[in-house]
């Protein structure tokens, strides 16, 4: 087959989601502050003229070492290996006269609780949209990615991860009525941006985020308490406070909000903050860090975000101490993403 063109896309992940859990169907309305970061997700689609003797859609999930045809998955409605990827391909489709080889790679560990699944879906949908004559906006792509998880796969999913992947940067997300939301980018000076970037740390706990039973328990309690549940309203308030702190470059206040939001999540269910995360927080406190919180919904595994003080030598001491504490704990280098989803085409 002759290569016609190559479509590439990247989408950031997100950390420090303050106000998480309020962007869900049972909260009905919510506010989330989050920060788009790299490591990012990368998608590459090689586009060929159709050759009826070969598979029409080949999918490579590089992080898992899987390469296979998804033709049968699209034809008979049964998932083969990676339902999220296959569902996104099915929803977007591939023109009948084309064959494609799709490769997907993430620099973040699987189950890292930084919205990687949403970033994968956004990047894949963004790249596949280039096969269509119609252009999609970042908001439309985020909405489609959300539908893949909630409708096609019938999974629980808030809206913030898809929006962060599509828009990037630092965002203040107002969900007026699930799943309708407005995204307000937070623009700050370079000096505040650079200082925030230098102080943030991301630590993987060494275990994939896996806490479905805990989440079911939390959801069961929250859905029966209504959208004005004080526990949910507390988290909405923290998102507003995070916005104001970052606008003002007040890192002490921002660190306090992170810690308070973390305790707000613990108040939903104590098991949302695992002992490994608490141990990292203890070491961070010993090294004069200002703030810390679990990423995403929390639970057994995933990752945490730390906001350090201004001393970079002390930050490096903290990183060494945390990694020495447990061989599974891993510092993941990050930098803030000024862009969200990026899609471009390379001709052969």
Task: Read off the pLDDT of residues 229-241 as tens digits, 9 standing for 90 and up.
Answer: 999 999 999 999 9
3-state secondary structure at position 253: helix
Give the separation between CA 84 and CA 88, rounded to whole angstroms. Answer: 6
Sign of CA dihedral 161, 89, 141, 10: positive
Query: Hey, CA dihedral for 203, 254, 196, 268, is it positive or negative?
Result: positive
How far is the first Cα of the chain from the last one, in angstroms, to the nearest whole number? 13
Identify the residue whose tokens are 């989803």.
Answer: 341
Burial class (CB in 10 A: 0-12, 13-18, 19+), 216: exposed
What pLDDT score was predicted for residue 213?
A: 61
* Residue 106 parent element (H or E): strand 98-106
What is the structure's pLDDT at 110?
81
pLDDT at position 207: 86
Mean pLDDT of the chain: 94
Task: Tell me whether the omega of the peptide bond preceding residue 179 falls within 30 degrees of 0, making it cis.
Answer: yes
Rounded to a whole number of angstroms, the CA Rg of the chain reads: 20
**What are 178-222's pLDDT values in tens digits?**
999 999 999 999 999 999 999 999 999 998 865 556 677 788 888
Phi and psi angles of residue 337, each rounded to the nearest 5 degrees, phi first: -95, 115
| 8 A C-beta contact, residue 57 and residue 69 | yes
Residues 44-68: tens digit of each pLDDT:
999 999 988 889 999 999 999 999 9
Give residue 212's pLDDT: 54
How much is the pLDDT for 132? 92
Evaluate the CA torsion angle 35, 41, 42, 43 in order and state its sign.
Answer: negative
Q: What is the percent of the chain with per-residue pLDDT over 70, rounded to a whole number?
A: 98
pLDDT of res. 69: 96
**Given this model, what pLDDT does residue 210 score?**
57
Map out the domains of the chain with their CATH numbers: 3-187 (3.30.230.10), 190-336 (3.30.70.890)
Report pTM.
0.95
Parallel, antiparallel or unpaired: strands 170-177 and 98-106: unpaired
Across 302-331, average pLDDT: 98
pLDDT tens-digit readout, 116-152:
999 999 999 999 999 999 889 999 999 999 999 999 9
Over the stretch 8-17, which tens digit does the pLDDT of each residue have?
999 999 999 9
In angstroms, the CA 139 to CA 134 distance is: 14
Q: Let me know: does 287 contact 306? Beta carbons within 8 Å.
A: no
Q: What is the pLDDT averaged over residues 290-317?
A: 95
In sequence order, the β-bridge partners of residue 11 are 41
CA distances from 63 to 136, 179, 259 (A): 28, 31, 33
Helices marked H in the chain: 71-76, 83-92, 116-128, 138-147, 160-167, 190-199, 212-223, 230-247, 251-268, 275-286, 312-325
Residues 191 and 241 sit within 8 Å (Cβ to Cβ) = no
Q: Average the pLDDT over 72-100 and give the result.
A: 92
pLDDT at 54: 87
What's phi and psi for 110, nearest 5 deg?
-65, 140
Residue 58 has φ and ψ, to the nearest 5°, of -105, 130
Instruction: Provide the percentage of residues in the chain whose pLDDT is more than 90.
Output: 83
pLDDT classification of 253: cutoffs 50, 70, 90:
very high
């Amino acid at each position: 087959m002759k290569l016609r063109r190559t479509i590439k896309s990247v989408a950031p992940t997100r950390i420090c989601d303050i106000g998480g859990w309020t962007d869900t169907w049972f909260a009905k309305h919510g506010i989330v502050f989050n920060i788009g970061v790299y490591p990012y997700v990368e998608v590459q689609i090689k586009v060929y003229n159709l050759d009826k003797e070969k598979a029409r859609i080949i999918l490579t999930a590089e992080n898992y070492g899987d390469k296979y045809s998804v033709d049968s998955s699209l034809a008979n409605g049964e998932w083969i290996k990676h339902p999220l990827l296959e569902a996104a391909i099915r929803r977007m489709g591939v023109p009948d006269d084309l064959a494609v080889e799709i490769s997907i790679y993430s620099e973040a560990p699987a189950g890292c609780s930084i919205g990687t699944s949403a970033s994968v879906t956004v990047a894949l949908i963004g790249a596949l949209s280039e096969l269509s004559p119609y252009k999609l906006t970042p908001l439309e792509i985020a909405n489609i990615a959300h539908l893949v998880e909630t409708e096609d796969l019938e999974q629980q999913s808030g809206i913030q991860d898809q929006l962060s992947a599509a828009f990037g940067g630092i965002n203040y997300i107002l969900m007026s009525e699930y799943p309708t939301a407005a995204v307000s980018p937070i623009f700050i000076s370079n000096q505040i941006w650079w200082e925030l970037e230098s102080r943030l740390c991301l630590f993987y706990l060494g275990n994939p985020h896996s806490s479905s039973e805990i989440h079911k328990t939390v959801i069961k309690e929250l859905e029966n308490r209504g959208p004005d549940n004080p526990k949910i309203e507390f988290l909405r308030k923290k998102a507003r406070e995070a916005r104001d702190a970052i606008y003002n470059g007040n890192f002490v206040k921002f660190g306090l909000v992170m810690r308070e939001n973390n305790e707000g999540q613990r108040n939903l269910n104590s098991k949302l903050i695992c002992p490994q995360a608490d141990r990292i927080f203890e070491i961070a406190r010993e090294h004069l860090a200002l703030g810390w919180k679990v990423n995403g919904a929390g639970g057994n595994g995933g990752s945490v975000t730390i906001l350090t003080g201004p001393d970079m030598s002390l930050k490096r001491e903290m990183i060494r101490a945390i990694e020495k504490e447990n061989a599974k704990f891993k510092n993941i280098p990050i930098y803030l993403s000024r862009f969200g989803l990026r899609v471009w085409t390379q001709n052969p």
